[in-house]
Amino acid sequence: MRNIFKGSLKGYVCEDCREVIADVEILFYLPYRKEVPANSNTKETFRFVSKEESKEREKLLIGKTKTDKEGNFAFEVNENYLNSEFDIDFICGTVPPKPPKPKREETLQFHITTLSMKEELEQQERNENYKWEYSIAYKWWCYIRGHFFDAWVICGHLLNCRTNTPIANAKVTAMDADFLTDDNLGTATTDSNGHFRIDYSSADFKKTFLSPWINIETDPSFLSFNSGPDVYFKAELGGTKLVDETKANARKNVGYCLCVNLCSEVTVTNPEETFPSAWTGIGAAFSSSYGSGIHDFDADGFAGSGKQVLFSTIRLTGQAALKSASGNPIEYRFRISDTTAANNTPFLAESNFTKIIGVTPNLFVPSIVSKLTRKVFSFILNDIFVYSNQSDFDAEGWFDVNHAIERTLIEVGLTPADLSLYNIIEEDTLISLNTAALTSAPNVPDIFNAGEPIPPANEIPVEKFAIRFEIREVINKPSNIFGAIGGNGKTLNSIVMNNNPIYRKLAGKELEESTLCTPISGTIHAKYSLYHPYLASGSLHLKSNSGSIDRFVSDGIINSASVKRINNNSPLNAPPSNNNLTRCTYSLKLYSSTRKSNGDFNDSDGGSPLEQIFFYDDNQV
């Protein structure tokens, strides 16, 4: 009977990431008797075999075999050695995923272990599926891969931060943070378990603007040189950013093997998966809660640490599952109240909320509420954006995202049954609201000249509104049977909104007293008016065409904290400090901004300054 010893060889890249070691020679020796340190386990001592030791053991070599592409091998044991112990070594000529050559021209031999061949063959005789398996510890295997083959690797998982479920089919890119230019180490796609692997070499993170002639790792800390890359990650799925790290998140000077777990706040689910539903924010900048955090609303209804006010179209953000745990559809809606209360008091009664997005005219704005991405890549309809539509609301303003998805599938030529082919990316937006349909304060009439006071009757009043989020499980809609869902009734009692522009006027006093084309001289003055109830900044800037004069004008009013900044006699060159205007053409600009934001970007109102051009002639009599 033939005595076939079957085995396999693998190596750990990370504690949860293992790879087969293919196409390497496995050597079988009679035991090499050599003095070893006390307390060492000779049968489990993995070590490097020197040239001298290898030569000394040549006469003990019994035979050799080779691993296949799965890291498996078979070796026929001569019956003369059945009762012997065997030393098992291997010669490493290559490492996955491709066969690079060692950095040194030398044979790399490693001792794996010593075992009783008789015991192993007896186990294989009792169980024909049994084979001896050995996995090299990741500290050893990573050292071999990196030190001898310049083979570096990143193994990781991409998960949802809240549910800890894996995110499949996402593209993960690893970057090396450098002082000069960040290096792209590679990109990989996550599998069904959210697992990804990126292989690279030192050449990938030692690139410079002189590469390939000169390569060196340029550490962004500049003063301390380290040989390993400083790694940070980007991840996206269907064009949606899942992970967006920067240099500040870089893992410093990583070794040959990097093991990471990345998580994304973006919800990616199968159509039948459930998860907690909630209204959590407004745009990307603000939470939908009262508190002291930099994203929270204060008691008076101002948003974030900048005490901003909402304007234009705002995204009411959060997440809502398609179905409840019992498999019933989920619907949600947002209602608005003109009655408000402080945000640090109990929620307003629901009877106050008489306006409904999707019912009250002009409140609803279509927006992307979901994205479908194919589980298996397709060149056609791989990613489908789901926009909210008026038809997705019922008569009471309940929004059905299931209807929106099915409608979108039909519009692109698919059927609702095709949803099973897709993962669903929650796009964060639940509904978008047009705040201009709520605010009604009139603008300041354009009847006042620069520097002229604005009467209190024409000032813009404060406007506040409350928003309530409602969500339900639809058990039987025709019979009006609905179930409660956590998060129902979430309310912001007070949100300050404003859609009025800044009132701005600018003029040159001496120009108005002559003509706009007349050269002026002597001490000259600016006349200006800036007003908005939520004015954030204002500045007056003077610059000569030659560039010799380039300064902000400080007159004690323009830089004040008041929401009204008005002056009809602001000197631009009052002696002695600013009496330096020379014969030239000048530009006088009035800059301003407000505290208006929609949660994603600030108001550009006042972004383009008002400008007054004049010619100054210091020789004019």
Distance in angstroms (rounded) separating the CA atoms of residues 409 and 402 = 11
Single-letter amino acid code for the residue at 69: K
CB–CB of 250/258 below 8 Å?
no
Q: Are strands 330-337 and 313-319 parallel, antiparallel or unpaired?
A: unpaired
Q: How far is CA 560 from CA 301, 550, 563, 593, in A?
A: 24, 21, 9, 14
What are the angstrom distances between the C-alpha of 585 and each of 386, 506, 507, 547, 551?
55, 17, 16, 10, 15
φ, ψ for residue 405, nearest 5 deg: -70, -45
Q: Quick one: pLDDT at residue 118?
A: 85
- Per DSSP bridges, beta strands 132-136 and 4-14 are parallel
Per-residue model confidence (pLDDT) at position 270:
67
Which H or E run includes 157? strand 152-160
- Using the Cα atoms of residue 13, residue 16, residue 21 and residue 26 in order, give the sign of their dihedral: positive
CATH tag, 503-616: 2.60.40
- Omega within 30 of 0 (cis) for the link into 97: yes
pLDDT at 589: 93
pTM above 0.85, yes or no: no
Distance CA 598, CA 313 (A): 6
Q: Which CATH number fits domain 4-136: 3.30.460, 2.40.50, 2.60.40, 3.30.70?
A: 2.60.40
DSSP helix/strand/coil, 59: helix
105-123 in b/e form (b: 16+ CB < 10 A) is eeebbbbbbbbebbebbee
Residue 611 β-bridge partners: 589
Measure the CA–CA gap between 73 and 134, rounded to whole angstroms.
12
Does residue 85 contact residue 114 with C-beta atoms inside 8 Å? yes
Q: Cis omega (within 30 of 0) on the bond before 212?
A: yes
Q: Enumerate the domain spans of the chain.
A: 4-136, 151-266, 278-497, 503-616
Following CA atoms 285, 288, 291, 292 in sequence, which dihedral angle do they give, to the nearest 10 degrees? 0
Instruction: Output the pLDDT for position 105.
Output: 65
- pLDDT the model gives residue 213: 41
In the chain, what is the straight-line distance between the N-terminal and C-terminal CA atoms, in Å? 123
Give the residue ranges of the chain where pLDDT is below 70.
Answer: 1, 33-44, 98-105, 179-180, 207-227, 270-275, 576-577, 606-607, 619-621
Q: Judge if 4-136 and 151-266 fold alike in CATH terms.
A: yes
What CATH number has the domain spanning 151-266?
Answer: 2.60.40.10
- Which amino acid does the sequence have at 194? G
The strand order across the sheet containing 525-531 reads: 503-508, 525-531, 564-571
Q: Give the model's pLDDT for residue 232.
A: 95
What integer pLDDT is reported at residue 103 of this predicted model?
Answer: 57
Distance CA 277, CA 298 (A): 24
Residue 234: phi and psi, rounded to 5, are: -125, 145
